[in-house]
Amino acid sequence: MTELKIGWSEVSITPDKKIALAGQFAERISEYVETPITATALAVESNGEQMIICSCDLVSIGENLLENVREQVKSQNSDIDTDKIILSAIHTHTSHVYDRGESAKLSAATTKDILDSFLPPEKQYQVKVSKKGDDFMNSSEALAFLTERIAKAGMAGYRDMNLYGTLYDGGSLKREIGAEIETFEMLEIEQRYNKITDSEKQAVIDNVMSKWDFKKPANPESMKIAAGYYLAVKQICDERGYDAVSLKDVDGMKKLLGFPPAPIFMLLADEAGLCTVPENDSLGCITQLMVKYLTGQCAFYLEFYEFFKDRVLAGVPDYVPNEVTEKTEVIPAAFGELSEGILNVSKVKTGKVTMCRLTSIDGEYYMHMVVGEGITPRKWEEAGWTQPAPQLPGLEILLDDVEDFADKVMCQHYIISYGDNTEKIKNLCEILGVEII
């Protein structure tokens, strides 16, 4: 069977200094940012063949910029066929002037190149902004800046292809790890939900949900829906003895049932004591159980939103267990066209953390783990939420080697525990025959 992997990334190429603006013969210097400019990468892989396409908010793509980006990507990952990196420009006239190098042709030249080719020597165009202060990015600096940012977009898109590894092989999982996975249909959740009485829903609201810190009053109907679906899923887990559960989120609860499942996950984790992670992430659940049994912690999940030079931004678009927060803070919020739900916006506790993830390759199991320092993140948001977008739970996790971590990252979801738990995890993996990465 042919497997198609697709990854996506978007990186800002908005300068933090004034720049000369390309696209007109008259010299123009930027004064402020009206609209951010970006480089957006799409990475595709099938049967070992790869391609990265990157659309850039530039007037055009110079040959030297393309070669510089290819060289930088090659230096970071020699497995990527850089001949199949394609850059395109949207042809905006309000973006960077950057150095095109000696090989620039008239068709791809700067405004000065074009003027110089037509004017006699005594009337050569004089660049007014060749010498500027620290608040100006010259064309050589712009080339270096764009190379670094566009290469970053391409690498992030390439890595993104492997971030959604939620598939599993039940046979090898049982044989190698000892865990069993069962599936149940969303229809069963709905059928059980329809049998939950209003009094049962109200009991959950009164005994649990009313104690949450609501930043704004929630729709009473949303409260009832959350309580009802929680009880329906809990029934299934209780009857079948599940220790962890994963629900299909975007294409399941949100798309089919029209309800964001954040409060359902909160109740399952905090009240039923279950490990929970979205998107049918079976190996994520297994990783959670391994960490939970080893550390006694709830083993919560975070997913990656951005890779920086010295840290990663990891957060969640739904919930974190109460155990890792000072208090449970929630707000009513809607995602896209969906009905209003209840979103967890609690602040996550900081400190030393261990991030780990179990993965499977051709029936063999591997554990990737790293220790970092979790700090309070700067303001960030996920696209899709009703504006003003909520400040989601998360951490900026400082790492010794972000590039090494990013090259080995196994999935969008990583399991978090506090402290350095690598020795405990390593010992268990040795017993199970799981290779440590």
DSSP per-residue letters across 103-155: T--GGG--HHHHHHHHS-GGGPPPPTTSS--TTEE-HHHHHHHHHHHHHHHHH
Residues 217 and 148 occupy one common structural domain: no
Residue 210: predicted pLDDT: 92
CB neighbour list of residue 71: distance below 8 Å, 6 or more residues apart: 82
- In a domain? residue 192: yes
| pLDDT per residue as tens digits for the range 381-436 | 766 666 666 788 999 999 999 988 988 888 889 999 999 999 999 999 999 999 99
Residues 386 and 339 occupy one common structural domain: yes
- In a domain? residue 43: yes
Q: Which amino acid is at 202?
A: Q
Cis peptide before 36 (omega within 30 of 0): no
Answer with the one of 134, 160, 186 that is the final residue of a domain. Answer: 160
- The tally of domains found in the chain comes to 2
In terms of Cα–Cα distance, which of 60, 112, 125 is closest to 89?
A: 60
Residue 333: predicted pLDDT: 75
Which runs of consecutive H residues, i.e. helices, occur in 208-359? 220-240, 262-270, 282-295
Is 0.85 topped by the overall pTM?
no
Residues 212 and 116 occupy one common structural domain: no
- In a domain? residue 165: no
Residues 193 and 77 occupy one common structural domain: no
Residue 108: predicted pLDDT: 42
Model confidence band, residue 227 (pLDDT cutoffs 50, 70, 90) = very high
Q: In whole angstroms, give the CA distance from residue 78 to residue 75.
A: 6
Q: What mean pLDDT, rounded, does the chain reach?
A: 85
Residues 150 and 175 occupy one common structural domain: no
Q: Which residues pair with 8 in a beta bridge?
A: 42
Residue 114: predicted pLDDT: 67
Answer with the one of 115, 136, 160 that is the final residue of a domain. Answer: 160
In terms of Cα–Cα distance, which of 394, 383, 391, 410 is closest to 314?
A: 394
Helix (H) or strand (E) holding 44: strand 38-46
Residues 188 and 114 occupy one common structural domain: no
| pLDDT per residue as tens digits for the range 295-347 | 999 999 999 888 888 999 999 988 899 999 988 899 887 665 556 778 888 99
Give the CA-trace dihedral at 2, 361, 250, 38, to 10 degrees.
Answer: -80
Residues 264 and 290 occupy one common structural domain: yes
Relative to beta strand 136-137, strand 311-315 is: unpaired
Residues 222 and 104 occupy one common structural domain: no
The CATH number of residue 223's host domain is: 3.20.14
| pLDDT per residue as tens digits for the range 6-50 | 888 888 899 988 898 888 877 788 888 888 899 999 999 888 788
Residues 153 and 252 occupy one common structural domain: no
- In a domain? residue 262: yes
Q: In whole angstroms, give the CA distance from residue 247 to residue 166.
A: 12
In terms of Cα–Cα distance, which of 299, 259, 293 is closest to 276?
A: 299
Answer with the one of 115, 140, 160 that is the final residue of a domain. Answer: 160
In terms of Cα–Cα distance, which of 334, 199, 201, 194 is closest to 259?
A: 334
First-to-last C-alpha distance (Å) of the chain: 28
Inter-axis angle of helices 139-160 and 63-76, nearest 10: 50
In terms of Cα–Cα distance, which of 389, 392, 278, 277 is closest to 325?
A: 392
- In a domain? residue 399: yes
Residues 341 and 284 occupy one common structural domain: yes
Q: In whole angstroms, give the CA distance from residue 404 to residue 383.
A: 28
Show the tokens assigned to 304.
């990656």
Residue 106: predicted pLDDT: 43
Residues 405 and 315 occupy one common structural domain: yes
- In a domain? residue 25: yes
Q: Tell how many helices (H) and how many strands (E) occur in the chain.
A: 11, 18
Q: In whole angstroms, give the CA distance from residue 270 to residue 8.
A: 34
Residues 241 and 381 occupy one common structural domain: yes
Q: Provide the residue range defining the domain that includes 350.
A: 170-436
SS3 191: helix
SS3 272: coil
- In a domain? residue 57: yes
CB neighbour list of residue 431: distance below 8 Å, 6 or more residues apart: none
